[in-house]
Structure 1
Amino acid sequence: MNETVFDTGLWLTAGAILGLLVLSAFFSGSETALTAASRGKLRAQADRGSKGAERALEVTDDSEKLIGALLLGNNVVNILSAALATALMTRVFGESGVALATLVMTALVLIFAEVLPKTYAITNAELAASRVAPVIRLIIPVFSPVVNLVRRLVRGILYLFGVRTDPDSKFLALREEIAGAIALGHSEGAVQKEDRDRLLGALDLHDRTVDEIMRHRREIEMIDAAKAPNDILSQVLASPHTRLPVYLGDDENILGVVHSKDLLREVEKLLRSGSGRIAKLDELDILKVAMKPYFVPETTPLDDQMRQFLKRRTHFALVVDEYGALRGLITLEDILEEIVGEIRDEFDIVEKDQSLARTEAGDYVIEGAMTIRDLNRITDWGLPDDEANTVAGLVIHEAQLIPSEGQVFSFHGFRFEVVQRKENRITTLKIRPL
């Protein structure tokens, strides 16, 4: 043993093992940093001029090739360092050196090549990713031939087991990642419920359609063009709405939409030209004042409709179905309310408080027309809204009939009791989680 202590080859082998451990730590830390780093933060840093962040975004575009190259490099240096350590220990301690090399290398690799670099990388993910990305960018092309071969082999094996891989797909869409981060932040107390609802509401606009939030045609206030001008003026002044559809004969025959300001301007014009005589109002032509109606399909996504409102510089649209029949109306305010919550002004009709009152039995008493989305927002429940928009619609869909007063149903983990029914509409319900 003493003869080998000052052996140059021994020290060279020990130095090689130390260098390989450093490389192993580099590959392990790089893998953790580049996979844990937030692409959003990296993009923000890249926009501020960080070249390292820009390189990190480039190398993480193809995550499969990145992971393959890092794992290949890490395994090569680990196996090589273990082999050198075994040869070194065997030379120094004889046959017992194999077991000693295993123990020593396991401890060194675990502490200095795995736990230590990965702990640092996950603590400073974006900083570490920016620093290692330029080097990793040069390493990936070197390992690419082997990585591509391994990738084909792996996909072939997965194909035999019925697993199909899409190299261009991501495990989670960016929108889903953001939604998950917001929900996680709320569950951990970092994001307030109101903030969570606003952020998720903005993200959901793409998946929701106009018919889900529109005001139903039964609730639309309209102007009959055949009415006397004085009656029309009185109706517009008494209405809480500034825009009202105008029809003639049948309420399906929408001829225009009148804005209260346009109507008042026309009235002022008539009164001035008539020397202030009220009788001059008989010459008021409501269709002359009305704007051309704007019709939209009921299947239009909310984010597309909001863009159209902003592009057309209008806030009001009539919703029609595939046959052209009037279904309802939607405004820009309706879409904004899906993000920020209920918007009220001094002319809005005061409705019941949206906070739900509970009975002594623990039931929530709600209106059947309340949307499932609003109920879920207030209570943090998870009732599905795929097949129905309102709570009454959900009960009818699940029951496959129009229930009578007093009927009770249980589905989706909740108890539903029909309290009031008007004609074919469920007006009041009691709901309790089971």
Structure 2
Amino acid sequence: MTGVLVLLLTLIMLVGLSLAGMLSAGEAALLRVTRASLTEALAEAELGQSPDPERAARIRRAQALVVDPTAIVASFALVRVVSEVVAIAAGTLLVQQAIPGEGVPNELPVMVIALVVGVVVGVTFVRVSPRALGFRRPVAVLIALVGPLTGVSRAVAWLTRFSVPRYDPSPPTEAELRDIADRVGESSAFEESDRELIRSVIELGGTITREVMVPRTDMVTVTADTSLDRVLRLLLRSGFSRVPVVGESVDDVVGVAYLKDVVAAVHWPVGEGEGGVPQPSLRPASDVARDAVFVPESKPIDDLLREMQASASHIALVVDEYGGVAGLVTIEDLLEEVVGELTDEHDTVLVQEIEDLGDGVFRVPARLPVDELGDLFDLRLDDDDVDTAGGLLAKVLGKVPLAGSSVEVGGVHLEAERVEGRRKQISTILVHRTEPVGEPDDSNGGLDQHDHRDQKRDQKEVTS
């Protein structure tokens, strides 16, 4: 009777360990495998050089397990724990049969030996090795064990039905996606820049166009009757490759003028061949303006990015709820929300310090406060409307300043020198004093006749 009992306990222990190891590998494989990898394996089994219908059928059964992995893994875990407990109990009884004697002196060695053997065997043959195999080769393990794994999941599905949340086919919320990004980002395989990229992609759907657009006040535009040679000069000075064409106001958008179209119209006018002599064209900007794309300011930028990509549009006019133009947005604006600031070979780095160029000329950052600009020349340049040197230049000029734009105000000459960034904003300004110390001329409110001539000339040029 003792021999039969030992054989039975040994069999129970081996079956329990084998089942626990198999389920441990299945858990790891199910958590690791992706639906795309199973789809590729199915296509190879059905359409490969040597089709295997039996393997294809097993892959389809494996795909059924992946549909609701949370509940399936819970089923495997329940059966695995029961198998481990049964195997440990059988092993303990085997040890008790092998050690002679009765009472406490017999039970204590049995407990110690059973504990050591159970930990070594359980960790090695149930947890470590099978899990490592499941993580390394999830597709192969899942396909190989799909039969018993499916049987286990069906046998105990009713036990986990009420304790495990069922699979929800609805799209995850933004908070759930952000939590997924945080969990993925905790992996040491991702650097901080990769984590930021993942977060940016997830948060893309929660950002609307109004948050990334170039506001109406910063838009550079041309009127419909502006000659193409003037438009070309504006594009070259500003660094833009596209500029909106407007009628009586910014809300009256005629279209968008593209640099390539303007260059072609100016250098190869109608009636001349490719070898003709380039001549400035007097045709209006409206002749080459392409139809503008309009988008609402409340549109999510992930939808806008896909829409602009599908329509091959790089620029769109943003309209508010009343139908007025609120600004414009480019495809670069949207991409910057994912990858950060984009610059090209023409962009320069923003100068943060004041540079003395000699002969009383200084290079200052456009963001230099107005009062510090005045202190540079022992002048008082207070202005309630603007705070920076760039703002003062734009206010006196009456339009968005471009490289080379200059004004004189309060005895100081300001000239826009460099543009910075994709939006071509002024980054540095050259400044020098225009009047002797102690002889300020405020008869024109800080502006001399030369300034007024510049303003009149600017008013005749392209407005922005």
For the 8 Å contact 1:39–1:57, the answer to whether it is kept is no
Q: Does the Cα contact within 8 Å between 2:215 and 2:326 map onto a contact in 1?
A: yes
Change (3 A) 1:260 1:213: same
Question: 2:168 matched to which residue of 1?
Answer: 168
Q: Is 1:39 the equivalent of 2:38?
A: no
The alignment of Structure 1 onto Structure 2 pairs a total of residues equal to 347
Q: 2:68 aligns with which of 40, 46, 62?
A: 62
For 2:23, which of 11, 22, 27 is the aligned residue?
27
| 1:244 CA displacement | 0.8
1:375 alignment counterpart: none
The DSSP-based 3-state class of the residue aligned with 1:250 is coil
Once the 2 structures are TM-superposed, how far is the Cα of residue 235 of structure 1 from its aligned partner? Answer: 2.9
Q: Is the 8 A contact 1:45 1:53 kept in 2?
A: no
Equivalent in 175, 182, 185 of residue 183 of structure 1: 185
The SS at the match of 1:327 is strand
Calculate the TM-score normalised by the size of structure 2: 0.59
Match in the other structure for 1:71:
77
User: Which amino acid is 1:113 matched to?
Assistant: G
**Counterpart code for 1:30:** G
Pairwise CA RMSD: 4.5
- Picking from 117, 127, 150, the partner of 2:126 is 117
1:237 Cα deviation from its structure 2 partner = 4.2
SS at match of 2:252: strand
Evaluate the alpha carbon distance shift between residue 338 and residue 167 of structure 1 in structure 2; reply closer, same or farther with a 3 A threshold. Answer: closer
Pick from 146, 153, 163 the counterpart of residue 154 of structure 1: 163
Answer with 297-306 or 203-212: which moved more. Answer: 203-212
Q: Higher helix fraction: Structure 1 or Structure 2?
A: 1
Q: Which residue of 2 aligns with 1:360?
A: none
Q: Residues 427 and 201 from structure 1, CA distance in 2 versus in 1: closer, same or farther, beyond 3 angstroms?
A: farther
- Correspondence 1:314 to 2:281: no
Deviations 1:154-187 (A, max 9, x none): 36xxxxxxxxx453269988965773466335xx
Deviates more, 1:331-340 or 1:44-53: 44-53
Give the AA of the match of 1:262: D
| 1:91-130 paired onto structure 2 within 5 Å | 93=100, 102-114=111-123, 116-127=125-136, 129-130=138-139
Alignment of 1:239-250 (within 5 A): 239-250=238-249
Q: Which residue of 2 aligns with 1:299?
A: 298
Identity of matched residues, %: 22
Identify the residue that residue 218 of structure 2 maps to in structure 1.
219
Kept in 1, the 8 Å contact 2:242–2:256? The answer is yes
Match of 1:158 in 2: none
CA–CA distance in structure 1, aligned partners of residues 190 and 366 of structure 2:
30
The alpha-carbon distance between structure 1 residues 263 and 145, as it changes in their structure 2 partners (threshold 3 A), is: closer
Deviation at 1:302, TM superposition (A): 2.7
Counterpart-to-counterpart distance in 1, 2:388 and 2:159: 61
Kindly tell me: are residues 104 and 176 of structure 1, through their superposed partners in 2, closer, same or farther at Cα, counting changes over 3 Å?
A: farther
CA distance in 2, matches of 1:105, 1:251: 85
After superposition, what is the alpha-carbon deviation per residue over 1:179-238, rounded to whole angstroms, capped at 9, x for unaligned?
Answer: 3466335xx4x5555555455544543343322222111111001224466644543443
* Counterpart residue identity of residue 246, structure 1: V
User: Is the contact made by 1:89 and 1:100 (CA closer than 8 Å) also made in structure 2?
Assistant: no
Q: Per-residue CA shift, 1:372-410, capped at 9, x if unaligned?
A: xxxxxxxxxxxxxxxxxxxxxxxxxxxxxxxxx9xxxxx
Partner of 1:377: none
Structure with max Cα Rg: 2
Are residues 267 and 25 of structure 1, via their aligned partners in 2, closer, same or farther at CA, if it must alter by over 3 Å?
A: closer
> Quick one: structure 1 residues 18 and 104, their matched pair in 2 at CA, closer, same or farther if it must change by over 3 Å?
farther
Q: Is the 8 A contact 1:223 1:244 kept in 2?
A: yes
C-alpha distance in 2 between matches for 1:421 and 1:139: 81
Task: Note the residue ranges of structure 2 that are not aligned, 5 or more in a row.
Answer: 46-54, 353-364, 372-381, 391-464
Give the 5 Å matches for 1:341-356: 341-348=340-347, 350=348, 352=350
Any conservation in 1 of the 2:295–2:319 contact (CA below 8 Å)? yes
Q: Is the 8 A contact 1:222 1:246 kept in 2?
A: yes
**Distance change in 2, residues 1:268/1:228 (3 Å):** closer
Residue pair 1:262, 1:289 contacting (<8 A) in 2 also: yes
1:81 aligns with 2:90: no
1:427/1:76 CA distance change after superposition, 3 Å: farther
Cα separation, partners in 2 of 1:167 and 1:99, compared to 1, 3 Å: farther
The Cα offsets for residues 10-61 of structure 1, whole Å up to 9 and x where unpaired, read as: 33433332332333333334334433x2538955974895869886654333
Shift of 1:253: 1.3
What is the CA–CA distance in structure 2 between the aligned matches of 1:293 and 1:59, rounded to whole Å? 50
Scaled by the length of structure 1, the TM-score of the pair is 0.63
Question: SS of the residue aligned with 1:221?
Answer: coil
Instruction: Give 1:245 shift.
Output: 0.7
Instruction: Tell me what 1:396 maps to.
Output: none
CA distance in 1: counterparts of 2:191 and 2:223, whole angstroms: 47
Could you tell me which of 9, 13, 18 is aligned with 1:17? Answer: 13
- CA contact 2:20–2:126 (8 Å) conserved in 1: no
Number of the residue aligned with 2:146: 137
8 A contact 2:72–2:153 mirrored in 1:
no
Distance (Å, rounded) in 2 between the aligned partners of 1:249 and 1:61: 59
Deviation, 1:427, is 10
Q: Please tell me whether the aligned partners of residues 29 and 135 of structure 2 are also in contact (alpha carbons under 8 angstroms).
A: yes
Please say if residues 227 and 281 of structure 2, whose CA atoms lie closer than 8 Å, have aligned partners that are also in contact. Answer: no
Kindly state the Cα deviation for residue 85 of structure 1 after the two structures are TM-superposed.
4.8
Which residue number in structure 2 is paired with residue 254 of structure 1? Answer: 253
1:298 and 1:320 in contact (8 A); partners too: yes
Instruction: Please give the alpha-carbon distance, in whole angstroms, between the structure 1 residues aligned to 2:43 and 2:154.
Output: 35
Q: 1:118 to 1:207 in 2, by over 3 A?
A: farther
Q: 1:139 to 1:233 in 2, by over 3 A?
A: closer
Match of 1:286 in 2: 285
